[in-house]
Amino acid sequence: MTKELEGTVALVTGASSGIGAATARKLAREGASVALIARRGDRLEKVVRSIVDEGGTARAVVADITTRAGADAAVEQVVAAFGRLDVLVNNAGAMLIGPFADAPEGEWERMVEVNVLGLLYMSKAALPHLIEAAGAEPRRTSDLVNISSSAGRVARPGTAVYNLTKFGVNGFTEALRQELQAARVRVSVIEPGNVDTELASHTREELRPGVEAQVAAIEKLQPEDIADAVAYIVTRKRRVAVNEVFVRAADQSW
């Protein structure tokens, strides 16, 4: 039985853990050759081995995508290795929670670097290859999927700069969707709610108890839940474009 992504190549950023790792595994199961990008090479290699052990094809690319040179080099390495690029999943993200007035400026800068600049650099580097793939077999379409957040829909105290970046991702995604529609590059955004990943652990130690208390009663989403949403988007027939998926934990009210 032919898999939906057989003969295609997918690239996932932030793929050393959490949503990125789960997405890479899921797309490999759908038949894609998968390139995994992150800064932690040892963690990447573990995910790659898990994919290969299941019979998939995967490659680790250690890169810092918050620079234009790093993103360009990463994409070129993937295309040189696999010959094409059909799917880009911009998953890499930083979430550093805390009141704006007290937050170190380095936290703002990190979120803007990863959530905005990294996504822009990767999108820019990948676009020529996605456009080329959209005109070719096996699918005659390609996909760019941005992982945003429920924080791109709902603003809350303590997440002001994170909200800024994720609201921006949502707006960028919609504008880019319209720009690339005629080229058959489908541009989509997924907005996960509370997911059980290490992202929240990056918050300053003194703020973590308060953050954890806010979500203590919520049965969190699992990374695989978001990976399923990515796979649903990119395995649709050419005539179908799923532009936006908002996935909250069932217990989450905001």
Note the pLDDT of residue 208.
77
Task: Give CA–CA dist 165/125, Å, rounded.
Answer: 20
Task: Give CA–CA dist 115/148, Å, rounded.
Answer: 9
Are 245 and 226 contacting, i.e. CB atoms less than 8 angstroms apart?
no
Number of other residues whose CB lies within 10 A of the CB of residue 31: 18
Note the pLDDT of residue 149.
98
Task: Give CA–CA dist 78/254, Å, rounded.
Answer: 38
Note the pLDDT of residue 92.
98
Strand order in the sheet with 33-38: 57-62, 33-38, 9-13, 87-90, 142-147, 185-192, 244-247
CA-based end-to-end distance of the chain: 42
Task: Give CA–CA dist 198/93, Å, rounded.
Answer: 11
Compute and round to an integer the Cα radius of gyration of the chain: 17
Note the pLDDT of residue 2.
82
Question: 205-224 b/e with 16+ CB inside 10 Å = b?
Answer: eebeeebeeebeebebbbbb
Q: What six digits make up the tokens of 162?
A: 């994170």
Note the pLDDT of residue 4.
96
Q: Provide the strand spans (E) within 126-243.
A: 142-147, 185-192
Are 123 and 167 contacting, i.e. CB atoms less than 8 angstroms apart?
no
- Complete domains list, the chain, with CATH: 9-244 (3.40.50.720)
Q: Which amino acid is at 176?
A: L
Are 226 and 20 contacting, i.e. CB atoms less than 8 angstroms apart?
no
Q: Which residues of the chain carry a pLDDT beneath 70? A: none
Q: Which amino acid is at 157?
A: P
Active site residues: 162
Q: In terms of DSSP H, where are the helices of 30-159?
A: 41-53, 68-82, 105-111, 119-134
